[in-house]
Structure 1
């Protein structure tokens, strides 16, 4: 399984690094069955995160037709209304490009090639798309998740609902070729679950033990009887 983890301006570093480390360790534990790379919609470039100017380098361009896994992170920035951010509140950076709100950073991705590439990926039968935290909101705001089940950070669940998504309050939601994680640290749980699902539970358990991290919660799947209201 080849995993492409997307970088965009203002990304949240933990949303990227947690899945990257888990999947890379899964590649080691599986004898190379998993490979991982950092990509961007624009191709190889240095991409600045929304956390203290930390930058990571995308080594390639996102290939939406490459079978495997595509992971999109959320953004890191101020929590607040886009109108309160530096700049004009419509996606234009402020004077320093810093201290911007998460809604602005996520919304700015809609003005790049990323939505079109993500649509190609979601239309491909051999690609699984995974969103960590606000990554689900990027997909939803691009109009790609209507009618699907997904989760995101608890502060963004209303936004999912508003875009026609069936928001699920779960740590990880498996909706077939779409797998999403909730808050920032859920990137660990999401990546471990994907290792279990795509490579096998023994590999996932070995990585979980290596990282001294135990996954939390039950992965939501559209299986079994509908629960009665409490």
Structure 2
């Protein structure tokens, strides 16, 4: 399954690089398989992150019709500040995503049964603020959970939330755990385990899904 990681202005670099590293290593461990590619809604271009101008290059346009994974990162920027004074806070950057050409493409990706959309940190909030996740189960950074709930999303305080064709990770480092979960989907647990050994990283937390028995309060 090909993976497209979506770059947009203000993205958080670790939200991109952590899944990229895990998924490319998984492809190598599987003997060379599907592509892992950085894309943007506008096509090939240099995209400036929200972290001191660090820039990554998207090599092609986001294709919502291509089977596989589409990964949407969150943003990096100041938490506090006055947007009216021109401070591009994290909420401002996430809201700007909703004004871009990425939104109709992501709507098509979410409607495509052959695509699984995955988000890291504020990526789910960017989609939710654009009106794309109402009624779904998802997680975002702990500081954005109330805002996620306010958009009509069922916000779940878990490291990774699997809602079928929508898989989301919490804070920025959850991109590692989310990517290992995607490896399980694409190649199975033996490949995921091999990459865990290579990276010397143990996955954290239980992947939450809306299945099984409902727990009672204790």
Residue 52 of structure 1: how far off its partner (Å): 1.0
Deviations 1:73-116 (A, max 9, x none): 000000136xx14xx47xxxx4xxxx621111111111111111
Q: Map 1:112-191 onto structure 2 (within 5 A).
A: 112-191=100-179
For residues 153 and 32 of structure 2, the distance between their equivalents in structure 1, rounded to whole angstroms, comes to 36
Structure 2 equivalent of residue 77 of structure 1: 77
Distance 1:56 1:209 in 2: 28
Cα distance in 2 between the residues matched to 1:147 and 1:198: 26
State the Cα distance separating 1:51 from its structure 2 match: 0.3
Classify the secondary structure of the residue corresponding to 2:57: strand
The TM-score, its normalising length taken from structure 2, stands at: 0.97
Structure 1 position 67 matched with structure 2 position 55: no
Q: Give the distance between the partners of 1:2 and 1:160, measured in 2 at CA.
A: 28
Find out whether 1:195 has 2:183 as its counterpart.
Answer: yes
Are residue 228 (structure 1) and residue 212 (structure 2) matched? Answer: no
Secondary structure in 2 matching 1:70: strand
Cα distance in 1 for partners of 2:180, 2:33 equals: 14
* Cα distance per residue 1:138-167 (max 9 Å; x no partner): 110111111110000000110111011100
Match of 1:19 in 2: 19
Provide the alpha-carbon RMSD of the alignment: 1.1
SS of match in other structure, 1:22: helix
State the match for 2:2 in structure 1: 2
**Partners of 1:80 and 1:103 within 8 A in 2:** no
Instruction: Provide the rounded CA distance (Å) in 2 between the counterparts of 1:222 and 1:137.
Output: 20
Structure 2 residue 95 is the aligned partner of structure 1 residue 107: yes
1:183 Cα deviation after fit: 0.1
SS in 1 for 2:98: helix
CA distance in 2 between counterparts of 1:141 and 1:149 reads 14
